[in-house]
Amino acid sequence: MRVQERPDKRPAIGRFLKQLLRHIPGTLLVIWDGAPIHRGQPVKDFLAQGGARRIRLEPFPGYAPDLNPDEGSWTYLQRVELGTVCCQNLSHLRRHLRLATARLRHKRSVIQGCARECG
C-alpha cells in the first residue's frame, strides 16, 4: 500500500509498478480498474521495457466496485480497524492507516472473505 495526498499522475504508475517488483519476489498479478491512468502510455512503456516478464495486469470493467476485493478491504479498514480512530491531522491518519493495514495483512480469513464476496 502507498499513501499519498494527491492522485497519481501517469508517470507515477510506472514507478509504483517498479516498486512492487522491488519489494515482492516472483510473478505478480495486478488487478485494477479500467481508469485511463492504468491504460496509459507509461504503463505500456513499462511493460514493453521488461515489466511484463514478472507482472500480469488484469483489468476490471470501467466501474465495478462489486467485483473488486479491494473495496471490501477498504470497508473493513474503515469500519473495523479505523472505526473509532479520531485523527488530529493527515500525518496522524497516515500512521493509523499504516498500522491498520499491517494488522489486516495478518488476517488472511478477512482478505479471503473480501475476495469470496466478489465471486
Cα distances (Å, whole numbers) of residue 90 to 78, 86, 96, 108: 15, 11, 10, 28
Residue that the C-alpha cell 497519481 belongs to: 8
Q: What is the pLDDT along the chain (119 residues), one digit of tens a residue?
A: 666 677 666 677 888 888 889 999 999 988 877 777 777 888 888 888 888 888 888 887 767 778 888 889 999 999 999 999 999 998 999 999 999 999 999 999 999 998 888 87
Beta bridge partners of 31: 58
Contact 72, 80 (CB under 8 A): no
With CA atoms as reference, report the closest residue to 68 among 100, 29, 33. 33
- Map out the domains of the chain as residue ranges: 10-63, 67-117
Q: Is 68 helix (H, G, I), strand (E, B) or coil?
A: coil
Whole-prediction pTM: 0.67
Contact 43, 55 (CB under 8 A): no
